[in-house]
């Protein structure tokens, strides 16, 4: 009896440990949520499951690496994974935030995981590691569940809702040609988009309108589509393409003789989440006469990108990477204030044309436009210069037809907002000059190409020195880049409170 009494507690402890181990083994699987991540390749589209570990999105690394078709021998061990691409070895280590590519290491924002035998990498792997490993450009915008690989250039679009007799007219302007195929399901209208892939600037648009309540972009099955939710049942829907296939026009009308009529006062407001959409709908029901205005927009333009790497320093720092980092940090800091909505003109390592960047800027109707650059600014590093636009020669006086028109040539766009641009440049120079150790010259006027056609207060921020005869290490330091981003945010805040939009 005494012997059994001594063994019984030990058995209980063993059973408790086993049960606890089962709980911990099952816990990671329960905190994972799966959806699809869409990869657009030159000749195909591939779906890879995306896993949200807590609030961090992860991808299974082996299917991602297989997308390039360049992978070789694969060696898996308990705590490491190795794969060869030509003569280059990729090595991942469990619970480590560094990836080894040949002799170099790339730091990720989150550690590498292994769950149920699956190696997972954070989605930042797409922009920081995959292009280096495969030699292919990758366009990926943080927060989205899609990437464009191997030179695929996505289209973007803007949305307008207009009043027409007995209904509303939706106009979706794309940056290229599309094809459409329509369907109706579950009380919604679905417009399938053919042609080039699409990267929406906003995932959803919500309308306070008696005919249309929501437009949402979806491509979780690899097929891009617009899903429209009518505000009431029994409406007629007439979509068509105009402008050589670059503009979708859809009329949403009350059926003839139905006797339905409604006031079409509306607000078009981006809505990135279902929670925010529900809140907007609740506000609309509670206070129909007091719409919540959208946040003011700030457009950020990271200079160069893709095959155009811009300036290069002696130690190998590329202008396109510096500008992307500055724009990303500035955008994150602006969004953290919860007072601005940020739009980027380029995503990932891409190089949109000047015209495409201008379309994104002008259709967003921003209060400020900032373009980032890096170059030769003399002997001392770090340095910074702020520019506003000045035409290289006086613009011709507009004729009577131009003066009477609602439209002006884009080459004249800055002429009408030059005073605001100068105010923005002054605010930027003042804030940047306060960064310790920086050389900040007086702001200048120059014929900066990217500023010329922007119909908003616009300024260029150039950091340096970045030249083939000098090292540019300070420009690549996170502390310096965060200081520049913080100064830009303070300048935007100062400008927005002192200048009329």
Secondary structure element (H or E) that encloses residue 485, with its range: helix 478-498
Q: Which of the two residues, 469 and 265, has the higher pLDDT score?
A: 469
Q: Tell me the domains of the chain and their CATH numbers.
A: 32-149 (3.30.457.10), 157-286 (2.60.40.3470), 297-391+409-498 (3.40.630.40)
What whole-number distance in Å separates Cα of residue 170 and Cα of residue 249?
6
What whole-number distance in Å separates Cα of residue 334 and Cα of residue 340?
6
- pLDDT number for residue 168: 92
The answer to whether 147 touches 200, Cβ cutoff 8 Å, is no
- Does pLDDT of 283 surpass 50? no
- Does pLDDT of 180 surpass 70? yes
What percent helix, strand, coil does the chain show, rounded to 5?
30, 35, 40
Helix, strand, or coil here: 411? helix
pLDDT in tens, 119-162: 999 998 998 888 888 888 888 887 889 999 988 999 999 899 98
Model confidence at 186, pLDDT cuts 50, 70, 90, reads confident
Q: Rounded to the nearest 5°, which phi and psi values hold at 179?
A: -120, 155
Mapping DSSP onto H, E and C, the string for 151-212 reads CCCCECEEEEEEEECCEEEEEEEECCCEEEEEEEECCEEEEEEEECCECCCCCEEEECCCCE
- pLDDT number for residue 386: 96
Q: Which of the two residues, 392 and 461, has the higher pLDDT score?
A: 461
Query: Among 321-330, 393-402, 448-457, which stretch is predicted with the lowest mean pLDDT?
Result: 393-402
Distance of CA 27 to the CA centre of its chain: 32
What whole-number distance in Å separates Cα of residue 495 and Cα of residue 424?
6
- pLDDT number for residue 256: 67
Please give the share of the chain, as a percent, with pLDDT higher than 90.
37
């Amino acid at each position: 009896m005494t012997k059994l009494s001594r063994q019984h507690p030990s058995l209980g402890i063993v059973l408790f440990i086993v049960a606890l181990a089962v709980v911990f083994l099952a816990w990671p699987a329960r905190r994972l949520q799966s959806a699809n991540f869409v990869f657009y390749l030159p000749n195909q589209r591939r779906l890879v499951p995306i896993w949200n570990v807590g609030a961090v999105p992860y991808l299974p690394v082996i299917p991602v690496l297989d997308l390039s078709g360049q992978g070789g021998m694969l060696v898996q061990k308990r705590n490491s994974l190795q794969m060869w691409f030509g003569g280059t070895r990729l090595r991942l280590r469990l619970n480590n935030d560094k990836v080894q590519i040949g002799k170099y290491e790339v730091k990720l924002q989150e550690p590498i995981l292994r769950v149920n035998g699956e190696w997972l990498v954070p989605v930042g792997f797409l922009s920081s590691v995959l292009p280096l490993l495969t030699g292919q450009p990758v366009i990926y915008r943080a927060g989205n569940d899609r990437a464009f690989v191997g030179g695929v250039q996505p289209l973007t679009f803007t949305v307008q809702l207009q009043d027409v007799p007995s209904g509303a007219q939706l106009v979706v302007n794309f940056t290229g040609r599309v094809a459409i195929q329509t369907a109706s399901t579950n009380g919604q209208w679905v417009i399938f988009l053919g042609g080039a892939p699409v990267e929406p600037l906003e995932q959803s648009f919500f309308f306070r309108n008696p005919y249309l309540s929501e437009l949402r972009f979806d491509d979780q099955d690899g097929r891009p589509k617009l899903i429209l939710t009518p505000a009431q049942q029994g409406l007629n829907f007439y979509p068509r393409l105009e402008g050589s296939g670059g503009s979708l026009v859809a009329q949403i009308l009350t059926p003839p003789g139905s006797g339905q009529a409604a006031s079409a006062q509306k607000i078009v407001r981006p809505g990135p989440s279902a929670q925010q959409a529900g809140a907007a709908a609740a506000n609309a029901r509670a206070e129909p006469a007091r719409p919540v205005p959208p946040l003011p927009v700030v457009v950020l333009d990271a200079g160069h990108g893709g095959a155009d790497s811009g300036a290069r320093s002696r130690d190998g720092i590329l202008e396109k990477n510096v500008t992307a980092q500055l724009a990303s940090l500035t955008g994150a800091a602006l969004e953290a204030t919860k007072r601005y909505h940020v739009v980027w003109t380029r995503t990932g390592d891409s190089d949109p044309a000047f015209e495409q960047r201008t379309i994104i800027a002008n259709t967003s109707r921003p209060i400020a436009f900032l373009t980032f650059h890096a170059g030769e600014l003399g002997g001392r590093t770090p340095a910074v210069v702020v520019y506003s636009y000045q035409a290289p020669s006086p613009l011709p006086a507009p004729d009577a037809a131009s003066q009477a028109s609602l439209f002006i040539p884009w080459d004249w766009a800055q002429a009408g907002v030059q005073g605001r641009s100068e105010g923005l440049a002054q605010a930027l120079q003042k804030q940047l000059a306060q960064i310790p150790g920086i050389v900040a010259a007086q702001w200048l006027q120059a014929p900066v190409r990217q500023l010329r056609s922007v119909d908003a207060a616009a300024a260029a921020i150039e950091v340096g020195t970045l030249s083939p005869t000098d090292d540019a290490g300070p420009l690549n330091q996170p502390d310096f880049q965060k200081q520049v981003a913080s100064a830009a945010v303070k300048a935007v805040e100062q400008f927005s409170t002192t200048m009329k939009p």
